[in-house]
Structure 1
Amino acid sequence: MEYEDFINAVATRAKVSTDQAATLTGVTLETLADRISAGQAEDLAYQLPDRLAGHLTRPLGGEMATAFGLDEFVRRVGDRPEIDRALAGAGVRAVLTTLREAVTRDEFENAMAQLPEEFSQVIEPVGAGGGRRRSS
Protein backbone atom coordinates (compact mmCIF):
# COMPACT_ATOMS: atom_id res chain seq x y z
CA MET A 1 0.00 0.00 0.00
CA GLU A 2 1.34 3.41 -0.96
CA TYR A 3 1.66 6.23 1.59
CA GLU A 4 -1.12 8.31 0.03
CA ASP A 5 -3.47 5.30 -0.07
CA PHE A 6 -2.82 4.62 3.63
CA ILE A 7 -3.45 8.25 4.62
CA ASN A 8 -6.56 8.51 2.44
CA ALA A 9 -7.97 5.32 4.00
CA VAL A 10 -7.35 6.69 7.51
CA ALA A 11 -8.92 10.03 6.56
CA THR A 12 -12.02 8.29 5.21
CA ARG A 13 -12.39 5.97 8.20
CA ALA A 14 -11.78 8.65 10.84
CA LYS A 15 -13.72 11.30 8.89
CA VAL A 16 -10.84 13.79 9.06
CA SER A 17 -8.73 15.74 6.56
CA THR A 18 -5.68 14.08 5.04
CA ASP A 19 -3.45 16.40 7.09
CA GLN A 20 -5.16 15.26 10.29
CA ALA A 21 -4.98 11.65 9.09
CA ALA A 22 -1.23 11.93 8.50
CA THR A 23 -0.72 13.31 12.00
CA LEU A 24 -2.98 10.69 13.60
CA THR A 25 -1.19 7.95 11.68
CA GLY A 26 2.27 9.05 12.77
CA VAL A 27 1.34 9.40 16.43
CA THR A 28 -0.61 6.12 16.48
CA LEU A 29 2.28 4.20 14.90
CA GLU A 30 4.74 5.77 17.37
CA THR A 31 2.49 4.73 20.25
CA LEU A 32 2.19 1.23 18.79
CA ALA A 33 5.99 1.05 18.62
CA ASP A 34 6.09 1.80 22.36
CA ARG A 35 3.58 -0.97 23.01
CA ILE A 36 4.97 -3.90 20.96
CA SER A 37 8.44 -5.42 20.81
CA ALA A 38 11.10 -3.59 18.79
CA GLY A 39 11.47 -6.63 16.53
CA GLN A 40 7.75 -6.72 15.77
CA ALA A 41 7.69 -2.98 15.12
CA GLU A 42 10.58 -3.43 12.67
CA ASP A 43 8.74 -6.28 10.94
CA LEU A 44 5.70 -4.03 10.44
CA ALA A 45 7.87 -1.11 9.33
CA TYR A 46 9.52 -3.28 6.68
CA GLN A 47 6.15 -3.72 4.96
CA LEU A 48 5.16 -0.04 5.04
CA PRO A 49 6.23 2.94 2.92
CA ASP A 50 9.28 4.74 4.31
CA ARG A 51 7.21 7.77 5.37
CA LEU A 52 5.22 5.48 7.69
CA ALA A 53 7.96 3.04 8.65
CA GLY A 54 9.98 5.73 10.41
CA HIS A 55 7.25 6.10 13.02
CA LEU A 56 7.73 2.48 14.09
CA THR A 57 11.44 2.70 14.85
CA ARG A 58 12.61 3.27 18.39
CA PRO A 59 15.70 5.17 19.42
CA LEU A 60 18.67 3.07 20.53
CA GLY A 61 18.09 1.72 24.01
CA GLY A 62 14.32 1.73 23.60
CA GLU A 63 14.03 -2.01 23.14
CA MET A 64 11.46 -2.84 25.82
CA ALA A 65 7.76 -2.67 25.10
CA THR A 66 5.60 -0.94 27.70
CA ALA A 67 2.42 -2.78 28.72
CA PHE A 68 -0.79 -0.71 28.63
CA GLY A 69 -4.34 -1.23 27.47
CA LEU A 70 -6.47 0.37 24.79
CA ASP A 71 -7.76 3.24 26.96
CA GLU A 72 -4.19 4.22 27.85
CA PHE A 73 -3.15 3.84 24.19
CA VAL A 74 -5.88 6.25 23.07
CA ARG A 75 -5.06 8.62 25.95
CA ARG A 76 -1.38 8.69 24.91
CA VAL A 77 -2.33 9.46 21.32
CA GLY A 78 -4.77 12.17 22.46
CA ASP A 79 -2.27 13.71 24.86
CA ARG A 80 0.10 14.64 22.06
CA PRO A 81 -0.12 18.40 21.41
CA GLU A 82 -0.59 17.95 17.65
CA ILE A 83 -3.66 15.72 18.13
CA ASP A 84 -7.23 16.86 18.75
CA ARG A 85 -8.19 14.71 21.75
CA ALA A 86 -11.71 14.24 20.41
CA LEU A 87 -10.27 12.51 17.33
CA ALA A 88 -7.91 10.13 19.12
CA GLY A 89 -10.26 7.14 19.46
CA ALA A 90 -11.51 7.27 15.87
CA GLY A 91 -7.96 7.88 14.67
CA VAL A 92 -6.52 4.87 16.50
CA ARG A 93 -9.31 2.67 15.15
CA ALA A 94 -8.76 3.96 11.59
CA VAL A 95 -4.98 3.55 11.69
CA LEU A 96 -5.08 0.02 13.13
CA THR A 97 -7.71 -1.05 10.61
CA THR A 98 -5.71 0.40 7.73
CA LEU A 99 -2.52 -1.17 9.07
CA ARG A 100 -4.24 -4.55 8.92
CA GLU A 101 -4.85 -3.97 5.22
CA ALA A 102 -1.35 -2.67 4.52
CA VAL A 103 0.72 -5.56 5.90
CA THR A 104 0.50 -9.31 5.59
CA ARG A 105 -1.97 -11.17 7.76
CA ASP A 106 0.81 -12.96 9.65
CA GLU A 107 2.62 -9.74 10.54
CA PHE A 108 -0.57 -8.05 11.66
CA GLU A 109 -1.63 -11.05 13.75
CA ASN A 110 1.85 -11.25 15.31
CA ALA A 111 1.59 -7.60 16.34
CA MET A 112 -1.96 -8.02 17.65
CA ALA A 113 -0.87 -11.05 19.69
CA GLN A 114 1.23 -8.65 21.77
CA LEU A 115 -1.79 -6.49 22.58
CA PRO A 116 -4.80 -7.13 24.82
CA GLU A 117 -7.91 -8.55 23.12
CA GLU A 118 -9.66 -5.18 23.44
CA PHE A 119 -7.52 -3.85 20.56
CA SER A 120 -9.01 -6.43 18.18
CA GLN A 121 -12.49 -5.28 19.12
CA VAL A 122 -11.96 -1.73 17.78
CA ILE A 123 -10.68 -2.81 14.37
CA GLU A 124 -13.26 -2.87 11.59
CA PRO A 125 -14.13 -6.33 10.27
CA VAL A 126 -12.38 -7.35 7.06
CA GLY A 127 -14.15 -5.79 4.12
CA ALA A 128 -15.96 -3.14 6.16
CA GLY A 129 -13.73 -0.32 5.00
CA GLY A 130 -13.59 -1.28 1.36
CA GLY A 131 -9.78 -1.33 1.44
CA ARG A 132 -7.59 -4.03 0.06
CA ARG A 133 -5.02 -6.18 1.77
CA ARG A 134 -1.57 -6.57 0.32
CA SER A 135 -0.89 -10.14 -0.69
CA SER A 136 1.95 -12.02 0.93
Structure 2
Amino acid sequence: MKYDEFIKHVQSVAQLNSRDEAEQATRATLETLKERIVGDEASNLAAQMPQELAEYLRGREGENGQSFSMQDFISRVSEKEGVEPTAAAIHVRAVFSVLQSAVTPGEFDDVRVNLSEDYAELFAISPTSKGSV
Protein backbone atom coordinates (compact mmCIF):
# COMPACT_ATOMS: atom_id res chain seq x y z
CA MET A 1 0.00 0.00 0.00
CA LYS A 2 1.36 3.42 -0.93
CA TYR A 3 1.66 6.29 1.55
CA ASP A 4 -1.15 8.39 0.08
CA GLU A 5 -3.50 5.42 0.05
CA PHE A 6 -2.66 4.55 3.67
CA ILE A 7 -3.34 8.11 4.86
CA LYS A 8 -6.53 8.34 2.80
CA HIS A 9 -7.82 5.13 4.39
CA VAL A 10 -6.95 6.33 7.91
CA GLN A 11 -8.77 9.61 7.23
CA SER A 12 -11.83 7.72 6.00
CA VAL A 13 -11.96 5.06 8.74
CA ALA A 14 -11.39 7.60 11.54
CA GLN A 15 -13.71 10.11 9.85
CA LEU A 16 -11.13 12.86 10.12
CA ASN A 17 -11.68 16.25 8.52
CA SER A 18 -8.30 16.57 6.84
CA ARG A 19 -5.33 14.70 5.48
CA ASP A 20 -3.14 16.53 8.01
CA GLU A 21 -5.18 15.09 10.89
CA ALA A 22 -4.82 11.60 9.40
CA GLU A 23 -1.06 12.08 9.07
CA GLN A 24 -0.79 13.26 12.69
CA ALA A 25 -2.87 10.32 13.93
CA THR A 26 -0.79 7.85 11.93
CA ARG A 27 2.52 9.29 13.09
CA ALA A 28 1.50 9.39 16.76
CA THR A 29 0.20 5.83 16.64
CA LEU A 30 3.22 4.35 14.85
CA GLU A 31 5.73 6.20 17.05
CA THR A 32 3.96 4.91 20.16
CA LEU A 33 3.81 1.41 18.71
CA LYS A 34 7.59 1.62 18.16
CA GLU A 35 8.04 2.39 21.88
CA ARG A 36 5.82 -0.52 22.92
CA ILE A 37 6.97 -3.45 20.76
CA VAL A 38 10.38 -5.08 20.43
CA GLY A 39 12.62 -2.89 18.28
CA ASP A 40 13.41 -5.62 15.78
CA GLU A 41 9.69 -6.30 15.33
CA ALA A 42 9.10 -2.60 14.66
CA SER A 43 11.86 -2.74 12.06
CA ASN A 44 10.30 -5.83 10.44
CA LEU A 45 6.97 -4.02 10.28
CA ALA A 46 8.67 -0.96 8.80
CA ALA A 47 10.10 -3.13 6.01
CA GLN A 48 6.54 -3.70 4.73
CA MET A 49 5.47 -0.07 5.00
CA PRO A 50 5.88 2.92 2.67
CA GLN A 51 9.13 4.74 3.41
CA GLU A 52 7.32 7.81 4.77
CA LEU A 53 5.66 5.63 7.44
CA ALA A 54 8.56 3.25 8.00
CA GLU A 55 10.67 6.07 9.46
CA TYR A 56 8.24 6.31 12.41
CA LEU A 57 8.96 2.68 13.29
CA ARG A 58 12.75 2.62 13.00
CA GLY A 59 15.47 3.51 15.49
CA ARG A 60 14.99 1.01 18.32
CA GLU A 61 16.49 -2.08 16.69
CA GLY A 62 17.92 -4.48 19.26
CA GLU A 63 15.95 -2.91 22.12
CA ASN A 64 13.10 -4.41 24.11
CA GLY A 65 9.74 -2.73 23.98
CA GLN A 66 8.51 -0.82 26.99
CA SER A 67 5.73 -2.45 28.92
CA PHE A 68 2.73 -0.16 29.23
CA SER A 69 -1.00 -0.75 29.20
CA MET A 70 -3.45 -0.02 26.44
CA GLN A 71 -4.65 3.01 28.42
CA ASP A 72 -1.08 4.31 28.57
CA PHE A 73 -0.75 3.68 24.83
CA ILE A 74 -3.85 5.81 24.22
CA SER A 75 -2.55 8.51 26.58
CA ARG A 76 0.78 8.67 24.76
CA VAL A 77 -0.91 8.88 21.36
CA SER A 78 -3.28 11.55 22.72
CA GLU A 79 -0.36 13.64 23.96
CA LYS A 80 1.65 13.29 20.73
CA GLU A 81 -1.35 14.03 18.56
CA GLY A 82 -2.73 16.84 20.73
CA VAL A 83 -6.24 15.38 20.95
CA GLU A 84 -8.49 14.04 23.71
CA PRO A 85 -7.92 10.37 24.67
CA THR A 86 -11.35 9.38 23.31
CA ALA A 87 -10.41 10.75 19.88
CA ALA A 88 -6.95 9.17 20.10
CA ALA A 89 -8.52 5.75 20.73
CA ILE A 90 -10.63 6.11 17.58
CA HIS A 91 -7.55 7.16 15.62
CA VAL A 92 -5.46 4.24 16.92
CA ARG A 93 -8.20 1.79 15.93
CA ALA A 94 -8.29 3.34 12.44
CA VAL A 95 -4.51 3.18 12.01
CA PHE A 96 -4.42 -0.44 13.22
CA SER A 97 -7.27 -1.33 10.85
CA VAL A 98 -5.43 0.14 7.86
CA LEU A 99 -2.13 -1.34 9.05
CA GLN A 100 -3.72 -4.79 9.10
CA SER A 101 -4.64 -4.35 5.43
CA ALA A 102 -1.24 -2.93 4.50
CA VAL A 103 1.05 -5.72 5.75
CA THR A 104 1.06 -9.50 5.55
CA PRO A 105 -1.16 -11.36 8.02
CA GLY A 106 1.91 -12.97 9.59
CA GLU A 107 3.56 -9.62 10.19
CA PHE A 108 0.42 -8.16 11.73
CA ASP A 109 0.12 -11.24 13.97
CA ASP A 110 3.73 -10.67 15.09
CA VAL A 111 2.80 -7.13 16.14
CA ARG A 112 -0.24 -8.33 18.07
CA VAL A 113 1.83 -10.96 19.90
CA ASN A 114 3.97 -8.09 21.25
CA LEU A 115 0.92 -6.49 22.87
CA SER A 116 -0.90 -7.65 25.99
CA GLU A 117 -4.50 -8.86 26.01
CA ASP A 118 -5.85 -5.45 27.07
CA TYR A 119 -4.97 -4.15 23.59
CA ALA A 120 -7.52 -6.47 21.92
CA GLU A 121 -10.22 -3.80 21.82
CA LEU A 122 -7.98 -1.63 19.62
CA PHE A 123 -8.11 -4.24 16.89
CA ALA A 124 -11.88 -4.33 16.58
CA ILE A 125 -13.45 -1.43 14.75
CA SER A 126 -17.17 -1.06 14.37
CA PRO A 127 -18.32 0.78 11.25
CA THR A 128 -21.61 1.65 12.99
CA SER A 129 -20.11 3.05 16.19
CA LYS A 130 -20.59 6.68 15.16
CA GLY A 131 -24.35 6.25 14.86
CA SER A 132 -25.03 5.04 18.38
CA VAL A 133 -26.77 7.73 20.42
TM-score of the superposed pair, with normalisation by structure 2: 0.86
Q: Distance in 2 between the 1:65 and 1:122 partners?
A: 18
For residue 18 of structure 1, report the CA deviation from its aligned partner. Answer: 1.3
Helix, strand or coil at the partner of 2:23: helix
- Structure 1, unmatched stretches of 5+, are 130-136
Answering whether residue 31 of structure 2 is matched by residue 37 of structure 1, we say no
- Structure 2, unmatched stretches of 5+, are 128-133
Q: Distance in 1 between the 2:118 and 2:98 partners?
A: 17
Instruction: Say if 1:23 and 1:83, in contact at 8 Å, map to a contact too.
Output: no
Match of 1:118 in 2: 118
Q: Distance in 1 between the 2:122 and 2:63 partners?
A: 27
CA RMSD of aligned residues (A): 1.8
CA-to-aligned-CA distance 1:33-66 (integer Å, 9 cap, x gap): 0000011000100000000000001257x82210
Match of 2:27 in 1: 26
Of all paired residues, the percent bearing the same amino acid is 36
For residue 117 of structure 1, report the CA deviation from its aligned partner. Answer: 2.0
Match of 2:54 in 1: 53
Corresponding pairs, count: 125
Helix, strand or coil at the partner of 2:63: coil
TM-score of the superposed pair, with normalisation by structure 1: 0.84
Q: How does 1:1-136 map to 2 (within 5 A)?
A: 1-16=1-16, 17-58=18-59, 63-80=63-80, 82-85=81-84, 86-124=86-124
